[in-house]
Amino acid sequence: MFVAPAFAQESETHSETGVAHEAGGAFPPFDSSTYPSQILWLAITFGLFYLFLQKVVLPRIGGILEVRSDRIAQDLDQAARMKEEADAAVAAYEQELATAKAKANAIGQEARDNAKADAEVERKRVESSLDKKLAEAEARIALIKDAAMSDVGTIAEDTVGAIVQELVGAKVDKSAVSAAVKAARS
């Protein structure tokens, strides 16, 4: 390298280099007599370091990171799949719920209709029986009224007979009284 000639001179002038330089006080970083040794050992150590990192350490760390990112991607995929499954389950549940609701409504409606029909029938039955009772009652009232009316005739005749007897003081002919009552009533 380019330092070699300079170094050759140096090493000639200071044959016991180390001690001579320390005493001489040359600034160590610029002391070219140490350059070959430093370059050689740097090449050896750095070369080995480079090879070690390239062959062993970096593939290993790269592998670790790759495995981890793969694993994370895989986990994310799995999570997405599970979410899909959960969504499907929720949809199925909603569907089930909707059909169940519809069914419940239908059953309720049917029950309501049945109850309504039953109530209607009952009402009609009750109404007809009431009508019958009403008719009966009306018939009886008419009967009673007729009886009462005929009773009213006899009572009026008796009363008229009594009043006339009181007023006139003589027995009145019964047939004449009933004819007069009949004429007044009609």
Partner 1 sequence: MADDPIHQFQISKWIPIEVGGLDFSFTNSSAFMVATVATAGAFLYLTTSSRGLIPSRLQSVSEMSYEFVASMLRDAAGTKGMRFFPLVFSLFMFVLVANMLGMIPYFFTVTSHIIVTFALAMLVIGTVVVYGFWKHGLKFLHLFVPSGVPKAVLPMVVLIELISFLSRPVSLSVRLFANMLAGHITLKVFAGFITSLSALGALGIGGAILPLFMTVALTGLEFLVSFLQAYVFAVLTCMYLNDAVHPSH
CB atoms within 10 A of CB 115: 10
User: Which residue, 4 or 176, is less far from partner 1 as judged by CB?
Assistant: 4
Tokens read off for 64: 């670790």
Q: How far is the CB of 39 from partner 1 (least distance, A)?
A: 6
Distance CA 15, CA 17 (A): 5
Distance CA 181, CA 46 (A): 157
Q: How many residues bind partner 1 (CB under 8 A)?
A: 47
Cβ partners under 8 Å of residue 31, min gap 6: 10, 21
Q: How far is the CB of 46 from partner 1 (least distance, A)?
A: 6
Q: Fill in the per-residue mask, 99 to 138: x = in contact with partner 1 (CB under 8 A), - = not in contact.
A: ----------------------------------------
Considering the rule CB under 8 A, would residue 58 count as an interface residue with partner 1?
yes
Considering the rule CB under 8 A, would residue 5 count as an interface residue with partner 1?
no
Considering the rule CB under 8 A, would residue 11 count as an interface residue with partner 1?
yes
Kindly tell me which residue out of 6, 20, 63, 88 binds partner 1, with binding defined by CB under 8 A.
63
Alpha helices of the chain — where are they, by DSSP H? 4-13, 17-24, 35-52, 58-168, 174-185
User: Is the Cα torsion angle 124, 126, 129, 135 positive or negative in sign?
Assistant: negative
CB atoms within 10 A of CB 63: 10
Distance CA 56, CA 167 (A): 158
User: Which residue, 43 or 90, is less far from partner 1 as judged by CB?
Assistant: 43
User: Which residue, 36 or 172, is less far from partner 1 as judged by CB?
Assistant: 36
Q: Fill in the per-residue mask, 25 to 54: x = in contact with partner 1 (CB under 8 A), - = not in contact.
A: x-xxxxxxxxxxxxxxxxx-xx-xxx-xxx
Query: What angle do the packed helices 35-52 and 4-13 form, to 10 degrees?
Result: 130
Q: How far is the CB of 79 from partner 1 (least distance, A)?
A: 17
Interface ranges with partner 1 (CB under 8 A) = 3-4, 7-8, 11, 17-18, 21-22, 25, 27-43, 45-46, 48-50, 52-54, 56-58, 60-65, 67-68, 71
